[in-house]
Structure 1
Amino acid sequence: MGPYLTPLFERAFIDGLHDANKRPTADEWESARLKQSI
């Protein structure tokens, strides 16, 4: 998955599983996706 997306997936599906406030924002996903594609 890569060094930028992996931490976001962990935050979204592990840390944020029961706490939406711990999930990454749309801006964080977009930024990570752009970094990943470079």
Structure 2
Amino acid sequence: ARARAPIGLPIGASSPAEIAVSILAEIIQAMRLPEGS
């Protein structure tokens, strides 16, 4: 596993809830896309 920074997709999140959605979206993206994409 590789660490990535900054974490989360760039969706313009500002509240804690939006930041959580951004982070979860990046996790889902990493799980769904083939490694190296």
Give the TM bin, normalised by the shorter chain: 0.3 to 0.5
User: Which structure is higher in RCO with an 8 Å CA cutoff and minimum separation 6?
Assistant: 1
TM-score where L is the length of structure 1: 0.36
Q: Report which of the two has the higher share of helix.
A: 1
Q: Which has the larger radius of gyration?
A: 2
Normalised by the length of structure 2, the TM-score is: 0.36
